[in-house]
Structure 1
Amino acid sequence: MTHTQRFEGHTALVTGAARGIGAAAARRLAEEGASVLLTDRDGEVVEETAAGLREQGLSVRASACDVGDRAAVEAAVAHAVEAFGGLDVLVNCAARCTRMTPLFEDEPDDAWEQDLDITLSGPYRCSRAALPHLVASGRGAIVTIGSVNGLQDFGNHAYSAAKAGLGSLTRTLAGHAAARGVRVNMVVPGTVRTSAWEGRDTEISRIEKLYPLGRVGEPEDIAAAVAFLASRDAAWITGTTLVVDGGLTAVNTGFHTAVHSMREA
């Protein structure tokens, strides 16, 4: 697919870019003309992803980066700035979600702390390291990937609390950075068909029935929203949360189905 070159001459750094939403966002930005540094904790896989994009003629590089490590984050940002001559866009995608225990009181402390550290503090570290360079670019933008888990109860206590925290961080950082010309926004996906759902087609089929638009999302759906918010098409948008969830949080499909069934009875 040919895209408008909204990012010609721009540079970007995407975390959690080895696969899924992060990889799709990196691809979309590169397809629209950006030079992109893909980072991920899994350095081997992110390099494979970047190599595949380079084979398509896209301007990308890869670097291993654990967003839980401040020094690694600062090194990744420095890598992008040195390689591309600056930084215009940061996409915070890296996250961690531990399978929750049946009982809340059995949740281990380390799972709670690690989910919050990667999912919430990770974007904080990345944004802090990138902000001076985004200011210097004169067209800086931060786009963070949230989740419907931060809006409603879909389980996973720590992950959900972290994603809800990202909404607040988006608003406060937007207010702080606006005067310096940097926009900060968040995309909130519903269920997206990533590697986490491989081999779970039966579950996907059940979940799709809960979505008013009749399907779960694809990584490319989220990447399109990321590209919009990072681009000058969104030049007067900051501090906002863009929900991209097929209508899940707007329409109670289960309730509608139950009411319809009662009327037919």
Structure 2
Amino acid sequence: MTAMRRFEGHGVLITGAARGIGAATARRLVEEGARVLVTDVDLVAAEKTAGALRELGGHAEAFTCDVGDRTQVEAAVAYAVEAFGSLDVLVNNAYRCTPDAPLFEDEDDEDWALDLDVTLSGAYRCSRAALPHLVASGRGAIVTIGSVNGIQDFGNHAYSAAKAGLMSLTRTLAGHAAERGVRVNLVAPCTVRTTAWEGRDDDLAVAAGLYPLGRVGEPEDIAAAVAFLASADAAWITGTTLRVDGGVLAVNTGFRQAIRFHGKDAEEGDGSEEG
């Protein structure tokens, strides 16, 4: 258990929290004293995650929530407020990502609409339902899980468009909510070792070599960033996108390696000719 207790007495709702980044964030916040509502479309998995957190001595409950359904979203928010006495933190983590069609003109309208609805409109629905309660708490914070896909091309047209939209929503909502005492921020990860990469260890190993820090991310890396932005340690931060990406957007590792290797070959060639 972490020594920090920044969320003692806080009520927290996390979407898509049955596994991966959502589950890691739930664990981190519970370890810091939060009471967490683990929501997911998969209630069995959500119950399992909440049960594991209770075994650690934390306060966690599970609730079914499809962020595409306004009624379910509002029910989840109401449940959190009733169960915990307040809602202090909302973590928008739920998303949908459909692999691209080989050709853009073959993209499917339904998949496009669903990716945007779950990923972007889902965060909108949850934030809208939660905002009055976050205001009432006097220390409210929204942290949304975005992606570097919203900043740079990593594929996945609809998903990337939705993540870019989340960055814009973060800025506009931060401006609206600031005078009401609620902070709104976003974390933008790159490759993170979650169940979405299950069975693809070789791909992750290749990806690790493209990161300046020499590895892909772990769910706990993102959870730590969420905990910071949701806490009073970030009391003067709102409307920001925090890139938690191993340096991949700052440094083109593949390009640097290619140039270095090319330069080495050229130097060796020049030396052999002189010899």
Which residue of structure 2 lines up, in the alignment, with residue 112 of structure 1? 112
Aligned pair 1:18/2:18, yes or no? yes
Aligned pair 1:74/2:36, yes or no? no
Aligned length: 265
Taking the aligned partners of 2:55 and 2:183, their CA distance within structure 1 comes to: 32
SS of 2:13's equivalent? Answer: strand
Taking the aligned partners of 1:109 and 1:190, their CA distance within structure 2 comes to: 26
Taking the aligned partners of 2:83 and 2:3, their CA distance within structure 1 comes to: 24
The alpha-carbon deviation at position 42 of structure 1 amounts to 0.7
Aligned pair 1:207/2:204, yes or no? no
> Larger deviation: 2-11 or 137-146?
2-11
Equivalent position amino acid for 1:164 in 2: A
Which residue of structure 2 lines up, in the alignment, with residue 163 of structure 1? 163
Tell me how large the CA RMSD over aligned residues is: 0.6
Report the identity percentage.
74
Listed as ranges, the gaps of 5+ residues in structure 2 are 266-275
Equivalent position amino acid for 1:53 in 2: L
Equivalent position amino acid for 1:246 in 2: G
Taking the aligned partners of 1:24 and 1:101, their CA distance within structure 2 comes to: 31
SS of 1:94's equivalent? Answer: coil
The alpha-carbon deviation at position 199 of structure 1 amounts to 1.2
**Residues 102-251 of structure 1 aligned to structure 2 (within 5 Å):** 102-251=102-251
Equivalent position amino acid for 1:160 in 2: S
The alpha-carbon deviation at position 11 of structure 1 amounts to 0.8
The alpha-carbon deviation at position 125 of structure 1 amounts to 0.1
Q: Could you say which structure has the larger radius of gyration?
A: 2
Taking the aligned partners of 2:27 and 2:118, their CA distance within structure 1 comes to: 23
Which residue of structure 1 lines up, in the alignment, with residue 270 of structure 2? none
Which residue of structure 2 lines up, in the alignment, with residue 90 of structure 1? 90
> Larger deviation: 151-160 or 1-10?
1-10
User: TM-score under structure 1 normalisation?
Assistant: 0.99
CA deviations over 1:14-34 (Å, ceiling 9, x no partner): 000000000011111110001
SS of 1:238's equivalent? Answer: coil
User: TM-score under structure 2 normalisation?
Assistant: 0.96
The alpha-carbon deviation at position 157 of structure 1 amounts to 0.1
Which residue of structure 2 lines up, in the alignment, with residue 54 of structure 1? 54
Spell out structure 1 runs of 4+ moving beyond 2 A: none
Listed as ranges, the gaps of 5+ residues in structure 1 are none
CA deviations over 1:34-65 (Å, ceiling 9, x no partner): 10101001111111111111111100000010
The alpha-carbon deviation at position 2 of structure 1 amounts to 2.1
CA deviations over 1:67-109 (Å, ceiling 9, x no partner): 0000000000000000011100000000000011110000000
Taking the aligned partners of 2:164 and 2:89, their CA distance within structure 1 comes to: 22
